[in-house]
Amino acid sequence: MSAQIYFVSGIDTAIGKTFTTGFLAKIWNEQGIRTITQKLIQTGNVDISEDIEQHRAIMGCGLLPEDQQKLTMPEIFTYPASPHLAARLDGRAINFEQIQQATEQLAAGYDCILLEGAGGLMVPLTEEFLTIDYIQTHNYPVILVTSGRLGSINHTLLSLELLKLRGVQLYAIAFNHTDNSKDPLIAEDTIAYLKQYLQRDFADTTWVDIPALNLALSSHK
């Protein structure tokens, strides 16, 4: 494989992984880094991944040929739940070999792949195999999405400690500013605290600011 693959995870569900993934793909493509997104496992959909559709909308393009070929959405389950439960309800196992083959095909034609997971690092993919296990198996550097919402410091530090424990590289913290308006004081303190923490324990990590959703879309049309 030739492309650099980054795994996009979050500190929790609904933290902004899909928006962050699409936004980074847009920015990196504008910088000349040929980037495509992939959804590891999509739940709650039939035939088409809504997360991939959102990526393309943010990137300002329609579905790509690789989307039509299902390379970017190799596994889709109908029930909106954790992958292990969604797969059980659909009565079929997750085909991890199919996912990996799709990633390899994408990697042959791009400089970078942003591989979006479901929920956080400890989300179960099967009864015995977690998202962090998949990341560790493939040695993917992680882009961890967090925000300034109340409680995010705790969830972020737990995620960082897990990455450290598993020996997984943290490539970047992507700070989603969409939640800032809920309590600007908490958001500002969260940014300061996390940056200080990273300087001490993850000095090589990149900090990426993800603008609030409405501002990002209006300024990058």
**Residue ranges of the binding site for ATP:** 47, 116-119, 176-177
- Catalytic residue chosen out of the listed positions 17, 26, 39, 221: 39
Whether 17 is a known active-site residue: answer no
Buried b (16+ CB within 10 A) or exposed e, 12-28: beebbbbbbbbbbbbbb
Q: In what order do the strands lie in the sheet with 4-10?
A: 35-39, 112-120, 4-10, 142-147, 170-176, 206-210
Asked if 24 and 144 touch (Cβ cutoff 8 Å), the reply is no
Largest CA distance in the chain: 47
Asked if 74 and 66 touch (Cβ cutoff 8 Å), the reply is no
Annotated binding residues, written as ranges, equal 18, 43, 47, 116-119, 176-177
Asked if 11 and 156 touch (Cβ cutoff 8 Å), the reply is yes
Annotated binding residues for substrate, written as ranges, equal 43
Q: What CA–CA distance (Å, rounded) separates 179 from 187?
A: 8
Q: Which residues are catalytic?
A: 39
